[in-house]
């Protein structure tokens, strides 16, 4: 079986992002192979844990991937302050005689954005709505690299490492099967709040779960890297309760056109046409613009927004929501079938080095300082008896169930095959009996085996 076929069979997707199928990303040749170990968002511990715990496998597999890509540069991009992680990786680089470089970045947000990393490491700028491959680079999360290591040893993606942070007694690390209910993790994680919400991911771009029902329905997927627990009355929780219509009215009434949302935008700093201040300025007349050209001029830059949240969570002095308004504008552009032209050769702006958001200041702005821990997360085991495994944990078409109710599956067994087109296989991290099969998920119970 070829390198790409092995990765495809294992069902590997980007472990730290939206879940893009890795077999597609690595089916290429590139000058740079960059491993993202920068922990993009605050209060996430997973990448650091993996670097400290599995440095030998990371370095070995990095070289294998770089060789496949015919990459002349193999770089691990992380934050310079991660001293223990860098030391562990460097020791393995020296021991293996590996041609791998460690690039230490400043501590800023969003350091883990792959387009930001490409510019930091290579000085090249990815085109608008483009891919790192457009400038000769392939970027993979460190968790993805370890999934490739597993695949090369015959093990598919069926389990996930994740950290639990925030309003818990101790920051913790878990290694659990895909489909593990997050409520089971939280019940063991010693949550310090009687009434809490959970962000799956980080505080800037993660998915907010506010109700008990939402928390009960949520499960660990291939892209779950962190659970951030917050009290129900926290600023970040309350902010998500503002209706979109209210945001639109607030933008029209209170935006002072200071341009901070645009001037602090990481993609604008890369030279992309992203101007949330213009979107905010023109919202009041969106329904009155009948000419598509005028509409594109007013709202077209929204398509280049990466939804990192800097504009609304850090830059805006009025507490408005430029990111949400960009997302709203994208919807309006799609409805009108307007696809603004891409800049294929953007150039980073001179101010880029002076407008990086210091992570500590961002944490303070978000009201998360009390949850920062400088201790190593505690590793905890969790006995899981039932998993509800989604058939869509990736970009592309949902996988198609390959098992039936009553069938016995082994740990690591294939339970859903990739659909035709862009899709991935899904495997079970729990051995047991198939209890339920729907077009959305497969439930497996391990108690009765």
Over residues 299-349, the pLDDT tens digits come to: 999 999 999 999 999 999 999 999 999 999 999 999 999 999 999 999 999
Q: Which residues pair with 35 in a beta bridge?
A: 76, 140
Q: Does the structure show a pLDDT above 60 at 448?
A: no
Kindly state the percentage of the chain with pLDDT values over 90: 94
Distance CA 363, CA 41 (A): 10
Q: Please provide residue 25's backbone torsions phi and psi, each rounded to the nearest 5 degrees.
A: -60, -40
From residue 34, how far is each of 74, 76, 114 by CA, in Å?
A: 6, 6, 9
Average pLDDT over residues 100-111: 96
Q: Angle between the 142-152 and 55-69 helix axes, to the nearest 10 degrees?
A: 80
CB atoms within 10 A of CB 183: 15
Give the pLDDT score at 368.
97
Distance CA 115, CA 70 (A): 21
Bond prior to 234 in cis (omega within 30° of 0): no
Is residue 38 within 8 A of residue 17, CB to CB? The reply is no
DSSP structure string for 163-193: EEEESBSS-EEEEEETT-BHHHHHHHTTBS-
Distance CA 333, CA 338 (A): 5
Which 3-state string (H, E, C) describes 44-112?
Answer: CCHHHHHHHHCHHHHHHHHHHHHHHHCCCEEEEEEECCCHHHHHHHHHHHHHHCCCCEEEEECCEECCC
Distance CA 358, CA 448 (A): 51
Q: Angle between the 292-299 and 322-335 helix axes, to the nearest 10 degrees?
A: 160
Give the pLDDT score at 447.
66
Give the pLDDT score at 96.
97
Q: Which residues pair with 358 in a beta bridge?
A: 108
Is residue 8 within 8 A of residue 39, CB to CB? The reply is no
Give the pLDDT score at 234.
97
Q: Please provide residue 336's backbone torsions phi and psi, each rounded to the nearest 5 degrees.
A: -90, 0
Report pLDDT digits (tens) over 271-289: 999 999 999 999 999 999 9
Give the pLDDT score at 381.
84
H-type helices in 275-409, by residue range? Answer: 276-282, 292-299, 310, 322-335, 359-365
Of 67-71, 239-243, 274-278, 378-382, the least confident: 378-382
Q: Does the structure show a pLDDT above 90 at 16?
A: no
Q: Which residues pair with 228 in a beta bridge?
A: 165, 199
Distance CA 47, CA 263 (A): 30
pLDDT averaged over every residue in the chain: 95
How many Å from the N-terminal Cα to the C-terminal Cα in the chain? 32
pLDDT category of residue 71 using cuts at 50, 70 and 90: very high
Distance CA 146, CA 309 (A): 29
**Burial (0-12, 13-18, 19+ Cβ within 10 Å), 60:** middle
Q: Does the structure show a pLDDT above 80 at 449?
A: no
Report pLDDT digits (tens) over 183-208: 999 999 999 999 999 999 999 999 99
More confident residue, 302 or 381: 302
Residues 6+ apart with CB under 8 A from 245: none
Whole-prediction pTM value? 0.95
Kindly state the percentage of the chain with pLDDT values over 70: 99
Cα four-point dihedral sign 314, 316, 319, 323: negative
Distance CA 143, CA 16 (A): 7
Q: Does the structure show a pLDDT above 70 at 162?
A: yes
Cα four-point dihedral sign 112, 110, 105, 70: positive
From residue 242, how far is each of 64, 189, 204, 276, 315 by CA, in Å?
A: 48, 30, 16, 19, 19
The DSSP letter of residue 23 is H
Is residue 37 within 8 A of residue 77, CB to CB? The reply is yes
């Amino acid at each position: 079986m070829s390198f790409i076929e092995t990765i495809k069979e294992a069902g590997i997707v980007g472990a730290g992002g939206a879940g893009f199928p890795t077999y597609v990303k690595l089916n290429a040749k590139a000058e740079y192979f960059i491993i993202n170990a920068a922990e993009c968002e605050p209060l996430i511990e997973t990448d650091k844990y993996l670097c400290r715990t599995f440095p030998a496998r990371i370095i070995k597999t990095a070289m294998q991937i770089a060789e496949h890509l015919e990459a002349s540069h193999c770089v691990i991009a992380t934050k310079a302050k991660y001293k223990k992680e860098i030391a562990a990786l460097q020791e393995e680089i020296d021991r293996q005689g590996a041609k791998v470089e460690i690039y230490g970045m400043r501590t800023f947000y969003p350091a883990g954005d792959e387009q930001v990393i490409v510019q930091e490491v290579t000085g090249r700028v990815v085109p608008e709505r483009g891919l790192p491959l457009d400038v000769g680079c392939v970027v993979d999360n460190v968790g993805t690299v370890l999934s490739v290591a597993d695949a090369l040893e015959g093990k598919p993606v069926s389990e996930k490492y994740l950290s639990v942070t925030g309003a818990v007694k101790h920051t913790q690390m878990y290694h659990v099967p895909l489909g593990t209910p997050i409520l089971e993790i939280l019940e063991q994680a010693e949550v310090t709040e009687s009434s809490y919400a959970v962000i799956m991911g980080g505080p800037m771009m993660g998915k907010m779960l506010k109700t008990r029902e939402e928390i009960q329905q949520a499960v660990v997927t291939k892209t779950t890297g962190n659970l951030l627990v917050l009290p129900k009355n926290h600023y970040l929780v309350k902010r998500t309760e503002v209706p979109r219509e209210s945001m639109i009215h607030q933008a029209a009434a209170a935006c002072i056109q200071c341009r901070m949302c645009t001037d602090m935008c990481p993609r604008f700093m890369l030279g992309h046409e992203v101007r949330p201040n213009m979107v905010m300025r023109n919202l009041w007349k969106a329904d009155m613009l009948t000419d598509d050209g005028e509409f594109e001029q007013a709202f077209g830059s929204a398509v280049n927004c990466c939804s990192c949240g800097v504009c609304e969570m850090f830059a805006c002095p009025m507490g408005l929501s430029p990111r949400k308004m960009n997302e709203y504008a994208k919807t309006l552009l799609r409805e009108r079938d307007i696809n603004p032209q891409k800049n294929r050769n953007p150039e980073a702006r001179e101010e880029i080095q002076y407008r990086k958001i210091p992570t500590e200041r961002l944490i303070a702005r978000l009201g998360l300082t009390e949850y920062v821990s400088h201790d190593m997360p505690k590793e905890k085991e969790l006995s899981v008896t039932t998993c509800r495994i989604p058939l869509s944990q990736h970009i592309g078409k949902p996988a198609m169930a390959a098992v039936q109710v009553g069938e016995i599956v082994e740990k690591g067994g294939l339970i859903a095959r990739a659909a035709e087109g862009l899709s991935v296989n899904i495997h079970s991290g729990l051995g047991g009996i198939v209890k339920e099969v729907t077009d959305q998920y497969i439930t497996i119970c391990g108690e009765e085996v």
